[in-house]
Amino acid sequence: MNLVRFGLDGLRAMASGGAAYWRWLGALAAVVAAGLFAYAGQLQQGMVVTGMSDQVSWGFYIANFAFLVGIAAAAVLLVIPAYLFHRGDVKQVVIFGEALAVAAVVAAMLFVTVDIGRPERIWHMLPVVGRFNWPLSMLAWDVVVLVGYLLLNLGLPAYVLHARWRGEEPVTARYFPVVIVAIFWAVSIHTVTAFLFSANAGRPLWHSALLAPRFIASAFASGPALIIVALLALRRWGGLAVKQTVIDLLAVVMTVALQISLFFVGVELFTDFYNETTHAASMRYLFFGLAGAGKLQPWIWTALALNVVAVVILSIHPLRRTPRLLVLACGLVFLGIWIEKGMGLVVPGYIPTPLGEIFEYAPTWREWLVSAGIWACGALVFTLLAKAALAIETGRARARPAADLKAS
Amino acid sequence: MSRQPDSDPPDRDGQGFNTFRRRFLAGVATAGGAVVTAHATGAWGGQTLQDAMGSLLQDHYQRMTKDEIHAALERIERNARRRYGVDARCEDLPPLPNTVFGYALNISKCKGYRDCVEACVKENNLGRDSQMQYIRVLQMPDGTMDLEKAEHYYDAKQVPVPGHWYLPVQCMQCDNPPCVKACPTKATWKEPDGIVVVDYDWCIGCRYCMTACPYWARHFNWTEPQIPAAEFNPNLNYLGNRPRPKGVVEKCHFCSQRARKGRQPACQEACPTGARVFGNLLDPKSEIRWVLENKNVFRLKEDLGTEPKFWYFSDDRVSRA
Ligand code: SF4
Ligand code: SF4
């Protein structure tokens, strides 16, 4: 009964808002609808409508997937200071980080779904009913960790919010073990996603022990970038009291992570190019082009430029502390890592093919539209979750005491 | 129907669901199946509702009962008749006892004619529009093994081009296949005779196996495969050359519809130079065993630990005394 009313209160909060709120929801819904339309065409005609081929068999969808898993993992950067170090300022906003993680995982899962040739058979991946190739297949591992992470990030905030809604303080002893699990789990989702790629001995670009650390470093740069922007937006339009100390903390984490991430890129470039072997072919293709083909060069050089400008802004303290410049840096990091980890990693892994063929890939308009729809879907999930959480956090939604109920 | 599975599949997972599935299918079959059959041929991708439901809810091959496999085979035959107007016969050929198939290829005889490729396309009912081919013949400059120097799209009418040698590559039926490890649904596996097969009704089309294969031997149906009715090969094997739907992965299976009947694969028969040797690795008197014991053989990318069951050799002694 209690839980039902809690849920209803949440829904009511999601459905109440000013004109700007509804315009925002409407815009997102329109993009989702466009994505659905594009996806319907893909279902009907087959995946031939994408730019993918036998040569480059994963493209834009999986690129976005890999990036979004990183965003989801980065929520841990709020969870650790809030629950482990009991920083009050972070504790106030940690729930919004978790909402962001939920939205990112949902979007990541959607990206995998649209990348599948026979989505109606996806139940084959379920344990018992289907045949789940666990623990052998890294893709099966990814399903396990992503579903688990989704549940953790729904359960933990739900418990905390429910307590607040009832006007109580959440009991630390009850949720603390879950927090510890969630922290390790966050790292695991991105590590497993890196293993998905590095497990392939036949793809030299990915077959590197550095891939998982690189994934984590870049996630801890791009994740805070998005969290900062989201928190600032919530402060501006949602009336959420975000302390500047939280923003500063995230900005520092982002700075260090970006520095490490760029260092890792340099390490790989050195190893591949100082004594260039055939193993460096994908790298050469990516950065300089190979045998007259080089469609990815503009992508990767843009990514590198964005990241370098961002790291300069972030590393100079007065610049980082200027709000406008910080937001600009966040945008640069977000875009830069999105390219580097997506088009700059997934696609060149397929070029050249294991038989040495160079076959280029570029996403089609349909892939762009489907992807935009999924991103909008993620934004929608975040908006709705944040709206409900906001209502409870600010005390607008509260369980009414029993006496109160009788009186009304 | 040649395979005789145990009366009940050994894997007892998902029993409740299985019961539900069977009841549901029986329900669709009886609930006015005739009416639906008459009207719905256009919808459901040219199948009856009953057949469409049948393949949608079909279990994994290794878990199907005798009856279910039988129903699936009949479904395939019905669809072949409906789509291509061909009376096809689909069997479920079991692996032969005491047999592990292997292949060897004489690179000094191969001249790059690509007759193997064409024979394979016809024998295995490969999509013609998509130009899918299981075998890729690489034209390599003399004196190199660097695959990145290979020419994939040379003109087969001009061969042999002076100063080049030819390297045909197809599925190596790895003994330690990374593609099988990768598959999240166990839709692909290694059979007792060493052939790596795909259950086309179970594959979800995630293409992770293609990413994992170091020999580029797996191919995806990006669109509905088109086969000219006149060229349709009606001798089908369930895990072999039966028509595949769109959105799933397929690959070379050593012509299981032939090999498991004691015949040679289509590529072997088609080769004009006799470069190809196929046979049972467990038979000490087989030609392939003779080649492995008496020739200098090598395998592609052996360092990856995939243990290919496909060897290359040449007539020249590698080390001239
Ligand atoms: S060659 Fe590729 S498809 Fe064939 S068994 Fe080996 S890994 Fe699998
Ligand atoms: S494409 Fe099919 S066979 Fe390949 S890994 Fe995915 S489900 Fe398995």
Residues B227-244 have pLDDT tens digits of 999 999 999 999 999 999
Q: What ipTM does this complex have?
A: 0.93
pLDDT greater than 70 at residue A406? no
Structural domains for chain B: 93-320 (3.30.70.20)
Among the atoms of ligand 1, which is closest to the Cα of residue B172?
1
Instruction: Identify the pLDDT of residue B9.
Output: 46
Instruction: Identify the pLDDT of residue B92.
Output: 97
DSSP strand pairing (B249-251 vs B218-220)? antiparallel
Residues A245-292 have pLDDT tens digits of 999 999 999 999 999 999 999 999 999 999 998 889 999 999 999 999
Instruction: Identify the pLDDT of residue B5.
Output: 44
Chain A residues close to B210, C-beta within 8 Å: 54, 57
Q: Is the CB of B161 under 6 A from ligand 2?
A: no
Instruction: Identify the pLDDT of residue B35.
Output: 47
Chain B residues close to A356, C-beta within 8 Å: 138, 146-150
Chain A residues close to B211, C-beta within 8 Å: 57-58, 200, 203, 350
Instruction: Identify the pLDDT of residue A399.
Output: 83
Residues A349-368 have pLDDT tens digits of 999 999 999 999 999 999 99
Residues B162-181 have pLDDT tens digits of 999 999 999 999 999 999 99
pLDDT greater than 90 at residue A393? no
Determine the distance in angstroms separating the CA of B315 from the nearest CA of chain A, rounded to an integer: 24
Interface test with A, best of B204, B213, B223, B251 (most A CBs within 10 A): B204
Q: Which CATH class is domain A1-394?
A: mainly alpha
Instruction: Identify the pLDDT of residue A361.
Output: 97
Residues A193-220 have pLDDT tens digits of 999 999 999 999 999 999 999 999 999 9
Report the chain B residue with the minimal C-alpha distance to residue A346: B211
- Minimum-distance CB partner of A200 among B148, B212, B247: B212
- Minimum-distance CB partner of A139 among B138, B184, B248: B184
Confidence band, pLDDT 50/70/90 cuts, at residue B316: confident
Instruction: Identify the pLDDT of residue B7.
Output: 42
Confidence band, pLDDT 50/70/90 cuts, at residue A397: confident
- Provide the residue ranges of all domains of chain A, joining segments of one domain with +: 1-394
Q: What is the 3-state secondary structure (H, E, C) of chain B?
A: CCCCCCCCCCCCCCHHHHHHHHHHHHHHHHCCHHHHHHHCCCHHHHCCHHHHHHHHCCCCHHHCCHHHHHHHHHHHHHHHHHHHCCCCEEECCCCCCCCCEEEEEECCCCCCCCHHHHHHHHHCCCCCCCCCCCCEEEEEECCCCCHHHCECCCCHHHCCCCCEEEEEECCCCCCCCHHHHHCCCCCEEECCCCCEEECCCCCCCCCHHHHHCCCCCEEECCCCCCCCHHHCCCEEECCCCCCCCCCCEEECCCCHHHHCCCCCCHHHHHCCCCCEEEEECCCCCCHHHHHHHHCCEECCCHHHCCCCCEEEECCCCCCCC
Torsional sign, CA A155, A161, A163, A168: positive
Residues B64-101 have pLDDT tens digits of 999 999 999 999 999 999 988 899 999 999 999 999 99
Residues A28-79 have pLDDT tens digits of 999 999 999 999 999 999 999 999 999 999 999 999 999 999 999 999 999 9
Q: For chains A and B, what is the number of CB pairs under 8 angstroms?
A: 156
Q: Is the CB of B198 under 6 A from ligand 2?
A: yes
Instruction: Identify the pLDDT of residue B29.
Output: 61
The overall average pLDDT reported for chain A is: 94
Residue closest by Cα to atom 6 of ligand 1: B174
Confidence band, pLDDT 50/70/90 cuts, at residue B320: very low
**Structure letter (DSSP) for residue A78:** H
Q: Which of B100, B135, B170, B173 has the most ligand 1 atoms within 8 A of CB, as the residue to mutate?
A: B173
Confidence band, pLDDT 50/70/90 cuts, at residue A169: confident
- Minimum-distance CB partner of B185 among A124, A196, A353: A124
Radius of gyration of chain B (CA): 21
